[in-house]
Amino acid sequence: MSNIANGKLTQTEVDFYNEQGYALYKNQLFGAEKQAELSAIFEEQWEMVGRRLNSELDTPHFRDERLLKFLLADEVLDLVEPILGPNIGLWSSHFICKEPLIGKQTPWHEDSAYWKGRLDRFDKIATVWLAIDPSNKENGCMRVIPGTHKNGFSDYEAVNEDENIFGTQIKNIDESKAVYFELEPGQCSIHDSRIIHGATPNKSPNRRCGYTMRYFSTEAKVLPDKNPGFKIWLARGKDIAGNPFINV
């Protein structure tokens, strides 16, 4: 699933995404100058947190609105519109960086499980994972279990946080079914918020960083009382569910 052309998904590719829960975009999402600009912003952000502390790189667009140039760009919205429909909200973004040799494992999880209770539905939320560095099996690229976005919320168990980015993981995963998302800088993947995914540790000498850009159909309601201080933008189209967009 890597032959998306012209920045949009064909109906066949949308059908694949709906069935399997992911797609790969092996073209350049942004032009070279724009990609370089985004990479430079990441380097600033990473230095700001001492080149560590991955959790502090969450929602960086809250403090650096230069990132809205990328998050609200037609290049990205054209990619997700065939999946989400014409009415699109910006949910969140996150710089994710695994340092050479010591980058921890990302346990098997569903994004939706960490947002449970914050929205009233999860069927039309998509994450674009844009590579800033090369992302491959050696440095701990993302991997998914295809088709698991249809399973509902999974059962979790505790894991050692010395070895993992966070302290829980989904039980009883058959890792032989995993598909690995190997990407060059500027390429991206798209995955459903409900799909089971994770990543192995970075045991290579090469850094692995990416920018996640997360979007939802405005058919979903973001619950204000469950999202104190959280900001969402209307990225395209119109608000359907009556969401607290900051630019409405």
Measure the CA angle with vertex 204, ends 164 and 44; round to 5°.
Answer: 75
> pLDDT in tens for each of the 248 residues of the chain?
444 445 677 888 899 999 999 999 999 999 999 999 999 999 998 888 776 655 557 899 999 999 999 999 999 999 999 999 999 999 999 999 888 988 788 999 999 998 999 999 999 999 999 999 999 999 999 999 999 999 888 889 998 888 887 878 999 999 999 999 999 999 999 999 999 999 999 999 999 999 999 999 999 999 999 999 999 999 999 999 999 998 64
Rounded distance, CA 28 to CA 43, Å? 20
| 217 in Cβ contact with 85 (< 8 Å) | yes
- Topology of 11-100+110-143+182-192+203-236 in CATH? Jelly Rolls (2.60.120)
pLDDT of residue 237: 97
Domain assignments of the chain as residue spans, ordered by start: 11-100+110-143+182-192+203-236
pLDDT of residue 248: 46
